[in-house]
């Protein structure tokens, strides 16, 4: 089936590794960790001081009033403003100027409206990927009710406590009248949001999409929950930058991080007609479910393998073409692995990568071997942004293609899977081996998604 190509024209990022894409990319490309000992009043209560895990990736130095006026900043949760900020950055890049706000928003908030967005607002959609949505308003409401009853529950819980709240706020901010929705698939949410938006654009349901992944998961309750299921790396308070260890034998779990990332997608014809600067193409998307367990993936990785094969097939590629299709017989690109640092998750992904690119356990196996295909795991630097991770790693993948550099997997001191060719230092690639990135996102509940980004 023929379909319209979907381009990427804008990027944004609010992360522990930086508050804009250039800053974030510089940190990731050079292997600098954004993981620190957790700070803030909420981590200084008696119970919080007793947490078994006290490290993570926090958004530091962010001023909400750089993006929204003080009255609105006081009503919104951090994650709402992070989502708005990342969208602002991506739209500014896509439109070639300051991001626009509508007259209605200007009247309500005091923000002067900008120039109109470069598309018919009825032909623009907003898709936000988030695993949990805004958690803090619910916590504040529960505490308020416990102390004051109904009077203690803030109005903002109803207005801004739902997972779709960031999508609604973004659509209101820019006057977008096309579809606005949230997508939730735990740690695959961001990748699923990108994939579903891509499909909508391919089929002509919209001309452009503002896609945001956002998560505010670095709080005592969420840290406690993930620690209780033994998903988090523990014992690294004295050396937090070394805690996230994807594919290393000493890995003990992931490091939770917070933040947001954004992409502007456009149908290729629309982008070309308006003279947009096309950064890359979103060329393929695949998704699957393990149907297995709440927190543990299928050991053989066949669900993850299915998503990877589907993403490649969606772009008209076989695994063998991706791994050996360059003029020199080498790979067309590399894999940005999900690579969280959990014992079971990394083992399952290693099995999936070997199955897809190293002989396979399903149909159409590739004849190449996994070591020929470069693999990186950037959560080693950023930590795991859960529902935001898929969009952030798509942003990293675009930067990688444009700069010609595969960012390193840090903290890989003792590789547990020698059959995989994991990049441990920044690697510059010749153009023929740097045309595509396959980016994986796999989540609790057995949610699997993979996207293929192409340099066009």
Cβ atoms of residues 360 and 318 within 8 Å: no
Active-site residue (options: 80, 160, 334, 338): 338
Q: Is 384 a catalytic residue?
A: yes
Structure-block tokens of residue 320: 């063998």
Active-site residue (options: 80, 160, 384, 447): 384
Q: How far apart are CA 188 and CA 186, in angstroms?
A: 5
Please count the other Cβ atoms lying within 10 Å of the Cβ belonging to residue 40. Answer: 12
Name the nearest CA neighbour of 11 among 21, 23, 26: 21
Q: How far apart are CA 233 and CA 255, in angstroms?
A: 6
Q: How far apart are CA 292 and CA 448, in angstroms?
A: 12
Name the nearest CA neighbour of 352 among 417, 269, 415, 408: 417
Structure-block tokens of residue 48: 């919080």
CA 2 to chain centre: 28
CA 181 to chain centre: 17
Active-site residue (options: 80, 187, 334, 447): 187
Name the nearest CA neighbour of 303 among 315, 318, 292, 316: 292
Please count the other Cβ atoms lying within 10 Å of the Cβ belonging to residue 227. Answer: 18
Residue 354 sits at φ, ψ, to 5 deg, of -65, -40
Q: Indicate the pairing of strand 55-56 with strand 374-376.
A: unpaired
Name the nearest CA neighbour of 225 among 139, 343, 144: 139
Q: How far apart are CA 219 and CA 213, in angstroms?
A: 18
Please give the DSSP secondary-structure letter assigned to residue 407.
Answer: P
Residue 394 sits at φ, ψ, to 5 deg, of -65, -40
Distances (CA, A) of 451 to 192, 269, 323: 9, 21, 16
Cβ atoms of residues 417 and 166 within 8 Å: no
Distances (CA, A) of 109 to 76, 175, 224, 447: 12, 14, 36, 38
Q: Is 293 a catalytic residue?
A: no
Q: Which residues are catalytic?
A: 187, 338, 384
């Amino acid at each position: 089936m023929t379909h319209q190509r979907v381009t990427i024209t804008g990027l944004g990022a609010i992360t522990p590794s930086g508050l804009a894409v250039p800053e974030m990319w510089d940190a990731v490309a050079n292997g600098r960790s954004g993981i620190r000992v957790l700070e803030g009043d909420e981590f200084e209560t008696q119970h919080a001081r007793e947490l078994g895990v006290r490290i993570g990736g926090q958004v530091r130095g962010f001023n909400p009033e750089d993006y929204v006026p003080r009255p609105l900043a006081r009503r919104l949760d951090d994650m709402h403003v992070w989502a708005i900020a990342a969208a602002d950055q991506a739209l500014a890049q896509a439109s070639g100027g300051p991001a626009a706000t509508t007259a209605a928003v200007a009247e309500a908030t005091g923000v002067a409206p900008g120039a109109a967005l470069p598309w018919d607002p009825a032909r623009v959609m907003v898709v936000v990927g988030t695993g949990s949505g805004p958690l803090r308003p619910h916590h504040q409401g529960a505490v308020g009710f416990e102390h004051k009853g109904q009077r203690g529950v803030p109005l903002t819980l109803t207005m801004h406590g739902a997972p779709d709240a960031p999508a609604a706020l973004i659509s209101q901010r820019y006057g977008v009248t096309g579809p606005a929705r949230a997508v939730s698939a735990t740690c695959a949410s961001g990748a699923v949001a990108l994939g579903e938006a891509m499909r909508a654009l391919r089929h002509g349901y919209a001309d452009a999409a503002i896609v945001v992944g956002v998560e505010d998961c670095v709080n005592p309750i969420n840290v406690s929950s993930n620690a209780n299921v033994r998903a988090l790396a523990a014992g690294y308070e004295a050396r937090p930058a070394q805690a996230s260890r994807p594919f290393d034998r000493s890995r003990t779990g992931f490091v939770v991080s917070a933040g947001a990332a954004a992409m502007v997608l456009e149908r290729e014809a629309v982008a070309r007609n308006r003279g947009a600067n096309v950064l890359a193409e979103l060329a393929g998307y695949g998704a699957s479910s393990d149907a297995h367990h709440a927190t543990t993936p299928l050991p053989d990785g066949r669900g993850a393998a299915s998503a990877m094969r589907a993403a490649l097939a969606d772009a008209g590629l076989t695994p063998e073409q991706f791994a050996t299709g360059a003029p020199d017989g080498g790979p067309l690109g590399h894999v940005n692995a999900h690579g969280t640092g959990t014992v079971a998750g990394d083992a399952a992904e290693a099995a999936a990568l070997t199955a897809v690119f190293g002989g396979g356990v399903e149909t159409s196996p590739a004849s190449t071997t996994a070591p020929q295909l470069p693999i990186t795991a950037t959560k080693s630097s950023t930590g795991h942004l859960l529902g935001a991770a898929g969009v952030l790693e798509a942003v990293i993948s675009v930067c990688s293609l444009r700069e010609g550099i595969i960012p390193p997997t840090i903290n890989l001191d003792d590789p547990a899977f020698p059959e995989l060719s994991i990049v441990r230092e920044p690697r510059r690639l010749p153009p023929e081996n740097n045309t595509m990135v396959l980016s994986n996102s796999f989540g609790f509940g057995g949610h699997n998604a993979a996207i293929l980004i192409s340099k066009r």
